[in-house]
Structure 1
Amino acid sequence: MMLKVYLSGEIHTDWREQIVAGAAGLDVIFSGPVTDHAASDDCGAEILGAEDDKVWHDRKGAQINAIRTRKGIADADVVVVRFGDQYKQWNAAFDAGYAAALGKSLVILHGPDHGHALKEVDAAALAVASEPAQVVDVLRYVLTGKLP
Structure 2
Amino acid sequence: MSWHVYLSGEIHTGWRARIANGLMEEELDVELSAPVIDHGASDDVGVAILGAEQRDFWKDHKGAGINAIRTRTLIEQSDVVVVRFGDEYRQWNAAFDAGYAAALGKPLITLHPEQHDHALKEVDRAALAVAREPEQVVDILRYVLNGRLPRR
TM range (shorter): over 0.9
Q: 1:58 maps to which residue? A: 60
Q: 1:99 maps to which residue? A: 101
TM (norm. structure 2) is 0.97
TM (norm. structure 1) is 0.99
Percentage identity across paired residues of the two chains: 69
Pairs aligned (count): 148
Q: What is the root-mean-square deviation in Å for CA atoms of aligned residues?
A: 0.4
Q: Which sections of structure 2, spanning at least 5 residues, go unmatched?
A: none
How do 1:22-61 and structure 2 match up within 5 A? 22-24=22-24, 25-61=27-63
Q: Secondary structure at the match of 1:30?
A: strand
Q: Secondary structure at the match of 2:54?
A: coil
* CA drift at 1:2: 1.1
Q: Which amino acid aligns with 1:50?
A: A
Distance, in Å, in 2 between the alignment partners of 1:66 and 1:124 is: 21
Distance, in Å, in 2 between the alignment partners of 1:118 and 1:2 is: 30
Q: Which sections of structure 1, spanning at least 5 residues, go unmatched?
A: none
Distance, in Å, in 2 between the alignment partners of 1:49 and 1:71 is: 24
Q: 1:110 maps to which residue? A: 112
Say which of 127, 130, 133 aligns to 1:131: 133
Moved over 6 A (4+): none
Q: Which amino acid aligns with 2:11?
A: I
Distance, in Å, in 2 between the alignment partners of 1:7 and 1:116 is: 22
Q: 1:15 maps to which residue? A: 15
